Amino acid sequence: MNIPDYITSVLNILYSHGFEGYLVGGCVRDALMGKTAHDFDLTTDATPEEMLEVFKDHRIIETGLKHGTVTVVSGGENVEITTYRIDGAYLDNRRPSDVTFTRNLREDLSRRDFTVNALAYSTQSGLVDCFDGLSDLKAGVIRCVGNPDTRFGEDGLRIMRALRFSAVLGFDIDHSTAKSIISNKLLLRNISSERIFAELKKLVCGQKAASVISEYSEVFFSLFESVAHNKEMFCKNATTLSLVPNDHCARLAALLWGFDDSSVTSFMHSLKSDNHTHNTVRTLCSYYPQKLSYDKYFIRRLMSEIDDELIRALADINSVHHADFDRRMFLEQYSAQKALNPCVKLSQLAVTGSDIISFGVPKGPKVGEIMQKILYAVIDDECANTFDDIKKYCMIIYNS
Ligand code: ATP
Ligand code: MG
């Protein structure tokens, strides 16, 4: 396993004080799959107090102390180390009411969601695999650690996580875990929108997103009323995901393609989406049902509303839905326009808001409205992007 020095040095410090130290979860799973791990979670039998003592020469951030997490700064990087934990009773299908620490690694691994996420690796003693995670990893299977009904009952988010890992890793979901996902789907309603959205964003970008969403569409319909009224369209859209770039805005737009603006808005709203994602998805979806035009003015308007990579995504979505749309020709025209660097943004206009005011337009919303009209006129070649021409044009539209 390829472990960076700043992690090895933290583990060695734990070992030298007689403690255990393991890499655990996603980084072990990913490394065994031959992928480069992006973050390293460490777990140890040392209590938080013992860690503070062991790492007293390091900078320490004490943010998660209550839950057993200490962040040690090693080689300029933050390293999270969590004491082996046993979760207390889950009273609300969300979080344990309390956590207790243990010196037994197996107990910590048994609280983890899936067997492939319950693998631990020590540079001293090698791999620990208490729940046959390695054979599930080799077979490409997502399986709950322990009884699926119990595990989903503890934390409903795990339903979404199972779908996410299946989509992203390209794994199948074990039969009894799959059955339990369907029968426990309503538990997701107890989970905060932010946590669901974080998983959904990763899920839609997964290599197997299309088949996971199609196969588990019931889960989505019970969670999102806004799309449940047209199940057929949602499921058909799901099959198009792999044809769209791996970007969560593009994929969500592909999934919601053809739904009206109020359904798209309420879908994004129910997920408490950040404004950027919400607006981008809405803008992309607003191009339904028209076929993208190859006309330069249409393309420039598009450039004024949508960022580069999403224009390509929109072209991909279009080619899925319009058999006669020539994606290559469209992208050629688009590249030709881009090369000309036309004025497509307010910030590229030869005038500013203060100039508009100096032309006699009173301060306030009117200034913005006029600037937008000027921009469209410049885009449409009805007005040149020069101070004098814009001034003339501004006077005409302001006085008309
Ligand atoms: P990635 O970071 O690549 O998305 P990961 O497996 O590291 O995947 P995290 O959400 O970072 O996922 O969680 C780290 C580990 O913590 C998981 O591998 C799993 O062992 C455990 N874990 C996280 N969330 C839960 C949960 N809701 N229930 C049980 N165990 C969990
Ligand atoms: Mg992780």
Residue with tokens 């979404």, as numbered in its chain: 160
The closest ligand to the CA of 25 turns out to be 1
Domains, the chain, ranges and CATH? 1-136 (3.30.460.10), 296-340 (no CATH), 346-399 (1.10.246)
Give the closest residue to 271 by CA, choosing from 191, 197, 219. 197
Residue nearest (by alpha carbon) to ligand 1 atom 8: 26
The alpha carbon of 40 and the centre of ligand 2 are apart by a number of angstroms equal to 7
Whether 154 is in the pocket of ligand 1, judged by its Cβ within 6 Å, is no
β pairing state of 77-83 and 41-44:
parallel
Residue nearest (by alpha carbon) to ligand 1 atom 27: 158
The closest ligand to the CA of 36 turns out to be 1
Q: Which pair of structure tokens corresponds to residue 135?
A: 């054979």
Residue nearest (by alpha carbon) to ligand 1 atom 24: 113
The alpha carbon of 26 and the centre of ligand 1 are apart by a number of angstroms equal to 6
Whether 158 is in the pocket of ligand 1, judged by its Cβ within 6 Å, is yes
**H helix and E strand count, the chain:** 22, 11
Which pLDDT does position 193 carry in this prediction? 96
Pocket of ligand 1, candidates 110, 117, 121: which has the most ligand atoms within 8 Å of its Cβ, to mutate?
117
Distance, in Å, from the CA atom of 47 to the CA atom of 14, rounded to the nearest integer, reads: 11
The alpha carbon of 64 and the centre of ligand 2 are apart by a number of angstroms equal to 16
Whether 115 is in the pocket of ligand 1, judged by its Cβ within 6 Å, is no
Kindly give the confidence (pLDDT) of every residue in the chain, 400 residues in length, as a single tens digit, with 9 standing for 90 and above.
889 999 999 999 999 999 999 999 999 999 999 998 889 999 999 999 999 999 999 999 988 888 899 999 999 999 999 999 998 888 888 888 888 999 999 999 999 999 999 999 999 999 999 999 999 999 999 999 999 999 999 999 999 999 999 999 999 999 999 999 999 999 999 999 999 999 999 999 999 999 999 999 999 999 999 999 999 999 999 999 999 999 999 999 999 999 999 999 999 999 999 999 999 999 999 999 889 999 999 999 999 999 888 999 999 999 999 999 999 999 999 999 999 999 999 999 999 999 999 999 999 999 999 999 999 999 999 999 999 999 999 999 998 8
The closest ligand to the CA of 165 turns out to be 1
Whether 25 is in the pocket of ligand 1, judged by its Cβ within 6 Å, is yes
Whether 136 is in the pocket of ligand 1, judged by its Cβ within 6 Å, is no
The closest ligand to the CA of 164 turns out to be 1
Whether 20 is in the pocket of ligand 1, judged by its Cβ within 6 Å, is no
Q: Angle 351-358-399 (CA atoms, 0-180°, nearest 5)? A: 90
The alpha carbon of 30 and the centre of ligand 2 are apart by a number of angstroms equal to 10
The alpha carbon of 80 and the centre of ligand 1 are apart by a number of angstroms equal to 13
Residue with tokens 């006029």, as numbered in its chain: 370
Residue with tokens 């999102």, as numbered in its chain: 224
Q: Angle 152-157-161 (CA atoms, 0-180°, nearest 5)? A: 95
Atom of ligand 1 nearest to the CA of 154: 28
Is the distance from CB of 60 to CB of 70 less than 8 angstroms?
Answer: yes
The alpha carbon of 104 and the centre of ligand 2 are apart by a number of angstroms equal to 22
For residue 156, the Cα-to-chain-centroid distance in whole angstroms is 19
Residue nearest (by alpha carbon) to ligand 1 atom 25: 113
Give the closest residue to 87 by CA, choosing from 103, 117, 108. 108
Which pLDDT does position 27 carry in this prediction? 96
Pocket of ligand 1, candidates 32, 112, 157, 177: which has the most ligand atoms within 8 Å of its Cβ, to mutate?
112
The alpha carbon of 41 and the centre of ligand 1 are apart by a number of angstroms equal to 9
Whether 157 is in the pocket of ligand 1, judged by its Cβ within 6 Å, is yes
The alpha carbon of 48 and the centre of ligand 2 are apart by a number of angstroms equal to 21
Residue nearest (by alpha carbon) to ligand 1 atom 11: 26
Residue nearest (by alpha carbon) to ligand 1 atom 9: 26
pTM: 0.90
Which pLDDT does position 301 carry in this prediction? 95
The alpha carbon of 313 and the centre of ligand 2 are apart by a number of angstroms equal to 28
Which pLDDT does position 75 carry in this prediction? 92
Q: Which pair of structure tokens corresponds to residue 284?
A: 């992309």
Which pLDDT does position 120 carry in this prediction? 98
Whether 199 is in the pocket of ligand 1, judged by its Cβ within 6 Å, is no
